[in-house]
Structure 1
């Protein structure tokens, strides 16, 4: 079976009810299980780029991020008093708008499902990069409180040091960007549906922040599986996000549980989340095979499995744009598309690994693409894996090769509700127009 370009229609659309349940608080002072919804902003939103230019910018971010994600698997916790610097992902594609402190100070945090720590820049700045909102001054916030070295959040850091004034952290991001400061708790306010204020959230107060790896935001919001992430600290059993196309401004994040999400999750088959003992942060899922066109590719069963040393496997990551497949598997996918698309392979340097010369916008037959996850077959819409650029006359596959770790990127996730059920340890891909 084949699909047609350029009429990229989304055949399966499920309309999810509006997610506007009022937020309540439990008698213990924490948020109850009702959820709230936040709008997400793409880092290049509002800028005059073509789709190919947006992808090219994202690919540059994504290649560094892929290297950092792979490095994280090998990072181990250090118990000495000397700070050992782990290498973390850093840059992402989507921003969460929120405020911190009392009175609140606005900032945009990079949404990152590939890390756990929440952090922003703080005064007094030893080194701070330029940001377009005020920098948090702990001395003027009545809700700021430093964490002790015996705090469970300090102990949860991949690396920490104990100083007279409490717990210190330091992270590097692989491109000479880094953040260093003290661990503390603060009040976070989200301008969501509904607006919500949450006290006593552990975060990194960055006093020494170098490099330009975070110039698109003023900090980072970790949504990983570890105890430091916002998801874990809230104690919600579910969260979800829905990402529009790279050209769209309609993306959102849902934290907590909604009846509409629960109903939606019953309409598709979930895939189990896998565990990697070497890396507790990532959302691993098991990729068992790939179909291109009508052919199930002869990819060895062990290609995408987690190895004994913690390498390999596939993660679902909101901050990586393209899907990167372990090289041996990717080669077979690439070969199948070359065979299935009756166009000459282009030698134009587009930044993407595989493009075809398509000088005129005409209808052509293209292969379908199916990812076979454990318990769930994900049929991707054409626009989630092929891109046509009329200015260059190119039709490009939005995927690439990797060594070891495979990543299911956000272009392939677009216009799906990605539902994480942390209680059942499953993930569901629900077709949905994110606007």
Structure 2
């Protein structure tokens, strides 16, 4: 018979083996759900009680316009996201929604704008020599036991997006720099840190949170985010340096309610909801989510004629090429005038055939508006995006195609500006579950007026 010390040692070994076996088992199919909080909700730390609805809408218009122009410049100029200089790739960020996560050990709660058009997660860090004011504490790397600075020449430095030129020594910190068109910028050090996400599920067990170590991110030390007080950005492109790319999940999804008082969700890994008929995403170096097979726009089942073929055809690094991009960083959808004007005229004719004339938006925000008494009536036509490879069109409901405005108006919540790129913005994705399958390069939509609420 084995001695008591020997039996105790065997028990310890078995416990250790069991622990590592359990860790391996859950890591194969781990996933998590993160809350999306509307910044106008009183629960948001960025809630501004003095901001009027019109102020928010106008800021959203500026954001969406600037991003469309910047994406168009990126595509035409063949700017690489691993350039050794700041990348003037995009402008203002849609501030409507923020994602909550934890950073460091022990973790501190922070927030970022979920951006499918950005490839690096970054946030302001304590010790910054130039900072903008944010209403929550800055992340302090010195208080975390898992913070590690990335050095030049390392795999992490080579993997990160927006890194700047190193001087050739491995003893130098790996710098990054992002300069936005509106004059905003973030410069700092590339580092690795433990990120914590809530509401974790696996095939075997449900956990309260999920820690993922050695996430590459930008620790901002010289920052000026001119239009926001949010700590930073959560990059969600299909690029190796984004949060999605580093976690290695094959899919993610998000769902936003048209009711701003409700929280939405972003679901990663096996927790992602992929439903509805899929359509292909066009491959591109930046990992952005361009539709590959847009057939055209339709109103009440009739095609909007007169839109040139190039408008929705994405060709990477080709000046003058178009494309329709899914962008969580844009508040509303954007189209070039050659597509937007025919859409407006088609909608006008439809409404006029029912004896309904447009009304002037005195704020100058939107181009097509009507008396609010016609909202949610049979008079409103279906607006659809059709695809050549998809059995179902993307139908924009009253709630996500139109927006209620002051003085008894509701307006088409889209804008037309001179740009090659078209954008499907967040307003048009409300009440939709958007599922992105990275492995198959597909995106699917399913209408869900009651998006699952984060608990």
Which range, TM-score by smaller chain?
A: 0.7 to 0.9
- Measure how far apart 1:421 and its partner are: 0.5
* Aligned equivalent of 1:290: 297
Q: Distance in 2 between matches of 1:399 and 1:230?
A: 29
Mapping 1:203-218, distance limit 5 Å:
203-215=217-229, 217-218=230-231
Farther-moved stretch of structure 1 (395-404 vs 41-50): 41-50
- Measure how far apart 1:328 and its partner are: 0.8
Farther-moved stretch of structure 1 (112-121 vs 347-356): 347-356
- Measure how far apart 1:78 and its partner are: 8.6
Q: Is the 8 A contact 2:82 2:162 kept in 1?
A: no
Question: SS state of the match for residue 281, structure 1?
Answer: coil
Q: Distance in 2 between matches of 1:373 and 1:52?
A: 34
Question: SS state of the match for residue 280, structure 1?
Answer: coil
* Structure with higher strand content: 1
Q: Is the 8 A contact 2:80 2:286 kept in 1?
A: no
Counterpart of 1:27 (choices 24, 27, 30) is 24
* Aligned equivalent of 1:414: 430
Question: SS state of the match for residue 354, structure 1?
Answer: coil
Gaps of 5+ in 1: 1-23
Q: Distance in 1 between matches of 2:290 and 2:162?
A: 19
Q: Is the 8 A contact 2:85 2:162 kept in 1?
A: no
Q: Is the 8 A contact 2:32 2:197 kept in 1?
A: no
Alpha-carbon RMSD across the aligned residues, in angstroms, is 2.7
Counterpart of 1:192 (choices 188, 191, 199) is 199
Gaps of 5+ in 2: 1-20, 43-47, 201-207
Q: Is the 8 A contact 2:186 2:223 kept in 1?
A: yes
* Aligned equivalent of 1:58: 60
Aligned residues: 401
Q: Is the 8 A contact 1:321 1:409 kept in 2?
A: yes
Q: Is the 8 A contact 1:345 1:354 kept in 2?
A: no
Q: Distance in 2 between matches of 1:79 and 1:319?
A: 20
Question: SS state of the match for residue 111, structure 1?
Answer: strand
Q: Distance in 2 between matches of 1:75 and 1:308?
A: 8
Deviations 1:23-62 (A, max 9, x none): x98639x943331111111222235677665433422332
* Aligned equivalent of 1:167: 174
Q: Distance in 2 between matches of 1:336 and 1:219?
A: 40
Work out whether 1:393 is the aligned partner of 2:408.
yes
* Aligned equivalent of 1:269: 277
Higher-Rg member (1/2)? 2
Counterpart of 1:305 (choices 313, 316, 319) is 313
* Aligned equivalent of 2:8: none
* Structure with higher helix content: 2
- Measure how far apart 1:379 and its partner are: 1.9
- Measure how far apart 1:135 and its partner are: 1.8
Deviations 1:278-321 (A, max 9, x none): x4231011321111123112233332112464442111111211
- Measure how far apart 1:85 and its partner are: 4.1
- Measure how far apart 1:416 and its partner are: 1.0
TM-score of the superposed pair, with normalisation by structure 2: 0.81
Q: Is the 8 A contact 2:311 2:421 kept in 1?
A: no
- CA 1:355/1:394 → structure 2, altered by over 3 Å: closer, same or farther? farther
Mapping 1:89-168, distance limit 5 Å:
89-92=91-94, 93-156=96-159, 157-162=161-166, 164-168=171-175
Question: SS state of the match for residue 290, structure 2?
Answer: strand
Deviations 1:317-338 (A, max 9, x none): 1121111123211111110011
Work out whether 1:365 is the aligned partner of 2:379.
yes
Counterpart of 1:231 (choices 221, 233, 244) is 244
